[in-house]
Amino acid sequence: MYTFAALYMNTNTPKTMENSLRTFINVQDIGPLDQAMAEAFEIKSNRYKYQHLGKNKTLMMIFFNNSLRTRLSTQKAAMNLGMNVIVLDVNAGAWKLETERGVIMDGDKSEHLLEAIPVMGCYCDIIGVRSFAGLTDRDYDYAETVLQQFIRFSGRPVFAMETATVHPLQAFADLITIKEYSGISGANETNGASSANGTSGKKKVVLTWAPHCRALPQAVPNSFAQWMLADNDIDLVITHPKGYELDAQFVKGARVEYDQRKAFEGADFIYAKNWSNPGVTNPEDYGKITCDDRSWTVDTEHMSWTNNAKFMHCLPVRRNLIVTDDVIESANSLVIPEAANREISCSVVLKRMLEGLGD
Ligand code: AN0
Ligand code: CP
């Protein structure tokens, strides 16, 4: 398989630069967070500063799943950097793709990813991939099987636009937002916001599970935990029903508090998100909804337990399941500035990838 694909993959060798990125999946990929934040705030104050970098370079975005923010913010970031952009919605017009090797392709899938990926690589310089967890086979999802094939066979720098287990562009934007609204680490407060509790020192950030009617992936909470734990100014507490423990590779070292009220006490930021059962404590539960307890919905009473916390969610959000109308519409809700920062996080990532490309 690999010999065949290697014959067809584009093997342009990238120019190596200290700051350049070949893959963007985990927080470690971005290097020192202070530097990444400094770049983010520089770009936020002048988003067209690096427009020359993208001249005659093409970004290809591949979507296996729906998107509003990722699609728009990534395209905007690429345009700010002077890039051309191609978007492919695999389920809307492309041949249906087989992703597993060894399958006799006599079903409805006309093309294999192993040919499609090197072909895509021929038409672009950087690739973004959205491919959610299937939530049926934990090993397949947690091996990031689809993303890894893009990395291996496209010959291009590849970044995750939410893949099976991670959503790093979201977590990076979340961290930028928290810095802005904390008044720490040199971030200018924007949008007229004030500091979360007006004092210096660590901010208490709470990741809370909330109920939902559909089984959702763990990518957002995985990346959120990973990025928050990497920041020395943040004290992360995770709260969820028993059985919803996240994978240790993302949450090792985080404090888990099963009592949601105790977790919320003194919080500066509440980050709500549903995720389906990660299958950590009971592998048979992987991808299932094993709790639908509506007492976990974030309402004004929940917020009253906090230190006048800001409310965050990556969106899209189902109101009155995850969070009540009152809370999401309150002055403490950061969901819109948080979404706006997706343009900024993506700009930093694309800038770094462009810096590593040859001319
Ligand atoms: C996705 C998820 O929970 O991973 C995308 C969030 C950015 N949400 C839905 O599918 C509703
Ligand atoms: N937060 C986020 O990634 O939104 P989309 O699914 O709309 O891209």
Q: Kindly report the protein residue whose alpha carbon is nearest to atom 4 of ligand 1.
A: 217
Copy the structure tokens of residue 293: 């307890």
Residue 291 · residue 241 · CB < 8 Å: yes
Give the residues surrounding ligand 2 with Cβ less than 6 Å away: 67-70, 162, 170, 314-316
What is the overall mean pLDDT for the chain?
A: 92
Q: Is the CB of 314 under 6 A from ligand 1?
A: yes
Q: Kindly report the protein residue whose alpha carbon is nearest to atom 1 of ligand 1.
A: 216
How far apart are the CA of 69 and the centre of ligand 1, in A?
11
Q: CA–CA separation, 219 vs 227, rounded Å?
A: 12
Degrees, nearest 5: CA angle 295-274-25:
155
Nearest ligand to the C-alpha atom of residue 166 = 1
End-to-end CA distance of the chain: 31
What is the torsion angle, in degrees rounded to the nearest 10, for the CA atoms of residue 273, residue 139, residue 135 and residue 341? 40
- Ligand 1 mutation target, pool 216, 246, 312, 338, most atoms within 8 A of CB: 216
Q: CA–CA separation, 58 vs 56, rounded Å?
A: 7
DSSP classification of residue 173: H
Burial class (CB in 10 A: 0-12, 13-18, 19+), 211: middle
Q: pLDDT per residue over 309-321, tens digit each?
A: 999 999 999 999 9
Query: Average pLDDT for consecutive 10-residue bins of the chain (359 residues)?
Result: 48 55 97 97 98 98 98 98 97 90 95 96 98 98 97 97 99 98 62 44 96 98 98 98 98 97 98 98 98 98 98 98 98 98 98 91
DSSP H helix total and E strand total for the chain: 13, 12
How far apart are the CA of 162 and the centre of ligand 2, in A?
8
Quick check: helix, strand or coil at residue 178?
helix
Ligand 2 atom closest to residue 169's alpha carbon, by position in its atom list: 3
Quick check: helix, strand or coil at residue 88?
strand
Residue 165 · residue 218 · CB < 8 Å: yes
Nearest to 147 by CA among 137, 132, 168: 132
Q: pLDDT per residue over 270-315, tens digit each?
A: 999 999 999 999 999 999 999 999 999 999 999 999 999 999 999 9
CB neighbour burial string for 290-303, b if at least 16 within 10 angstroms, e if fewer: eeeeeebbbeeebb
Q: Kindly report the protein residue whose alpha carbon is nearest to atom 4 of ligand 2.
A: 69
Ligand 2 atom closest to residue 66's alpha carbon, by position in its atom list: 6
DSSP classification of residue 96: P
Q: CA–CA separation, 173 vs 303, rounded Å?
A: 23
Q: What pLDDT does 190 receive? A: 47
Q: CA–CA separation, 256 vs 311, rounded Å?
A: 19
Q: Can you say how many angstroms the Cα of residue 7 is from the centroid of all Cα atoms in its chain? A: 32
Q: CA–CA separation, 225 vs 220, rounded Å?
A: 9
How far apart are the CA of 349 and the centre of ligand 2, in A?
17
Residue linked to tokens 């996080």: 345
Crossing angle for the helix pair 33-45 and 335-355, nearest 10 degrees? Answer: 110
Quick check: helix, strand or coil at residue 207?
strand
Residue linked to tokens 């978007």: 87
